[in-house]
Amino acid sequence: MIGSVTTRYASDGCDHEPAPILSVEQVQRYLIERVLPVAGKEVVATETALGRVLAEDQRSLMNIPGADNSAMDGYALASRDIERAGEFRLVVSQRIAAGQVGQPLAPGTAVRIFAGAWLPPGADTVAMQEHCRIEPDGTVVIPGPVTRGANVRRAGEDVAAGACILRRGTRLRAQDLGLAASVGLARLPVFRRLRVALLSTGNELVEPGAALRPGQIYNSNLYMLAGLLQGLGCEWFSAGWVPDDPTQTHEALARAAEAADLVIATGGVSVGEEDHVKAAIRDIGHLDLWRVAVKPGKPLAFGRIGATPFLGLPGNPVSAFVTFCLFVRPFVLRSQGIVCGQGGADTVPRSFPVVAGFEWSGAKKRCEYLRARLRLTENGATIVEIYPNQSSAALTSAAWAEGLVEVPEGHTVAHGQTVRFFPFSELLS
Ligand code: AMP
Ligand code: MG
């Protein structure tokens, strides 16, 4: 990610300690260096292992395919029988369907064979059914020459016996489960799920389902963060809601830390007098508070309550969403034991260049992440557009979007300029 690497300082306004201003990249690096992956393992049925993180390398004890077999429905033969151009007429000496084992090929004959059936000893090539003609007397006419080995899947060409098929630290995808099953693995050792406590802070919060009184809002962050964590394969639980009160905040954080591998709070880490999370963590643990040079986002706290890591996200829902994508996601994925760059799981999101279909004046001192969507134009080009309301409180922007456009610190965007787009597939899973 782009960002300045110099550390600047500003007063955090509340307790008059300097709060360092860090770049996105600095914060990502800082957090990743502090990951302690879960150590606990469990063995689960392969069909239930989707999204779990493999805890041990998996080796195949067998070749895949197990033997030379036909890739097509057709006629198996010995290529030396059809070395020249022209038509060859062969007697069909046997029929082998998938799952059957044939007899050795009688010299000078062909075998009716179906996809997946093992080649009989003596056959080395398959002529596709579509290229062959059956005569009324039952013989088959095959056009020569055939290429030796055509339409044959060789024993072990996919997986050689003894090969490592899946590495420890891989987040298992559907194709990984299929691969494990293909070598006969009915169960897989995985790391236990990361257990995350979510704490909501603020006098104004009410849970959906209850009536709102004047001045109150519904707690949206809990529901959004619960969804984000489930998308990453975590277990989560609500550590409750606390009003803006130091004692209750302190108690709720301590309780959450006992039951969880990670505590995430939203709100209360800003500079206001009603922000009690910072003080509470400082009382019972250790806290680093930053102003991240990111918009939306800015206040972000990392600390420990005993041995349990703590992340404090901004209260504004879009700020919480973006900081989750940028900072919490890489931290959570690695805490689950994922090894970066393996099995398609890059814990730091990847972006790709797209042409801007919008203008943006840019935040001068912060890297911005705009809620954006791709659009195919009439002439077949792909451009990226942004939601008109980019307020950090407007969750509609995130719900509308397909990803985020990064505007580096000090930059503006003109129509037609190339910008970096992070699709949500890189940020939410
Ligand atoms: P804070 O960081 O506590 O100063 O909160 C900043 C803004 O985010 C305020 O407008 C809060 O009302 C709002 N906010 C805080 N927590 C939540 C939440 N759980 N759901 C929705 N909005 C919230
Ligand atoms: Mg608050």
**Minimum CA distance residue for ligand 1 atom 3:** 267
Predicted local distance difference test score (pLDDT) of residue 10: 46
Q: What is the pLDDT of residues 280-289, one digit of tens each?
A: 999 999 998 7
SS3 per residue for 231-291: HCCCEEEEEEEECCCHHHHHHHHHHHHHHCCEEEEECCCCCCCCCCHHHHHHHHEEEEEEE
Of residues 348 and 25, more confidence is placed in 25
- C-alpha of residue 287 to centroid of ligand 2, in Å: 18
- C-alpha of residue 200 to centroid of ligand 1, in Å: 9
The atom number, within ligand 1, closest to the CA of 275 reads 3
Q: What is the pLDDT of residues 100-157, one digit of tens each?
A: 999 999 999 999 999 999 999 999 999 999 999 999 999 999 998 999 999 999 999 9
Q: Does 299 contact ligand 1 (Cβ within 6 A)? A: no
Q: Does 125 contact ligand 1 (Cβ within 6 A)? A: no
Residue 24's closest CA among 322, 384, 421, 404? 322
CA-to-CA distance for 22 and 89, rounded, in angstroms? 78
Taking the CA of 200 as reference, the closest ligand is: 1
The atom number, within ligand 1, closest to the CA of 299 reads 2
Taking the CA of 265 as reference, the closest ligand is: 1
- Segment 52-69 mean pLDDT: 97
Taking the CA of 216 as reference, the closest ligand is: 1
Taking the CA of 319 as reference, the closest ligand is: 1
Predicted local distance difference test score (pLDDT) of residue 258: 97
Q: Report the percent of the chain where pLDDT is more than 70.
A: 94
Q: Does 156 contact ligand 1 (Cβ within 6 A)? A: no
Predicted local distance difference test score (pLDDT) of residue 11: 42
Q: What is the pLDDT of residues 261-300, one digit of tens each?
A: 999 999 988 777 778 898 899 999 999 878 899 999 888 9
Asked if 213 and 237 count as a contact pair (C-beta separation under 8 A), the reply is: no
Asked if 229 and 313 count as a contact pair (C-beta separation under 8 A), the reply is: no
Q: Does 317 contact ligand 1 (Cβ within 6 A)? A: yes
- C-alpha of residue 265 to centroid of ligand 1, in Å: 11
Reply yes or no on whether the pLDDT at 14 is more than 60: no
Q: Is the peptide bond before 143 cis (omega within 30 degrees of 0)?
A: no
Annotate 12-43 with b (16+ C-beta within 10 A) or e (fewer).
bebeeeebbbbbbbbbbbebbeebebbeeeee
The atom number, within ligand 1, closest to the CA of 220 reads 20
Name 42's Cβ contacts closer than 8 Å, sequence gap at least 6. 189, 190, 192
- Segment 169-179 mean pLDDT: 96
CA-to-CA distance for 278 and 19, rounded, in angstroms? 12
| pLDDT, mean over the chain | 92
Predicted local distance difference test score (pLDDT) of residue 289: 76
- Segment 211-222 mean pLDDT: 98
- C-alpha of residue 111 to centroid of ligand 2, in Å: 77
Q: Report the percent of the chain where pLDDT is more than 90.
A: 85
Taking the CA of 272 as reference, the closest ligand is: 1
CA-to-CA distance for 161 and 24, rounded, in angstroms? 45
Predicted local distance difference test score (pLDDT) of residue 341: 67
- Segment 325-349 mean pLDDT: 83
Ligand 1 pocket mutation pick from 207, 221, 241 by most atoms within 8 angstroms of CB: 221
Q: Does 319 contact ligand 1 (Cβ within 6 A)? A: no
For CA atoms 171, 177, 181, 186, give the dihedral sign: positive
Structure tokens, 351: 């972006």
pLDDT band for 5, please (50, 70, 90 cuts). Answer: very low
Asked if 306 and 276 count as a contact pair (C-beta separation under 8 A), the reply is: no
Q: What is the pLDDT of residues 30-47, one digit of tens each?
A: 999 999 999 999 999 999
Q: Does 219 contact ligand 1 (Cβ within 6 A)? A: yes
CA-to-CA distance for 122 and 110, rounded, in angstroms? 10
Q: What is the pLDDT of residues 325-334, one digit of tens each?
A: 999 999 999 9
Phi-psi group of 342: left, alpha or beta (phi > 0 → left; psi -120 to 50 → alpha; rest → beta)? beta
pLDDT band for 340, please (50, 70, 90 cuts). Answer: confident
Residues whose CB is under 5 A from ligand 2 (ion)?
202, 267, 315
Q: Does 314 contact ligand 1 (Cβ within 6 A)? A: yes
Q: Does 402 contact ligand 1 (Cβ within 6 A)? A: no
- Segment 15-33 mean pLDDT: 81
Q: What is the pLDDT of residues 189-209, one digit of tens each?
A: 999 999 999 999 999 999 999
CA-to-CA distance for 349 and 324, rounded, in angstroms? 12
- Segment 306-313 mean pLDDT: 95
CA-to-CA distance for 172 and 138, rounded, in angstroms? 50
CA-to-CA distance for 22 and 5, rounded, in angstroms? 7
Alpha helix ranges (H) inside 260-380: 277-284, 317-323, 329-335
Asked if 80 and 96 count as a contact pair (C-beta separation under 8 A), the reply is: no
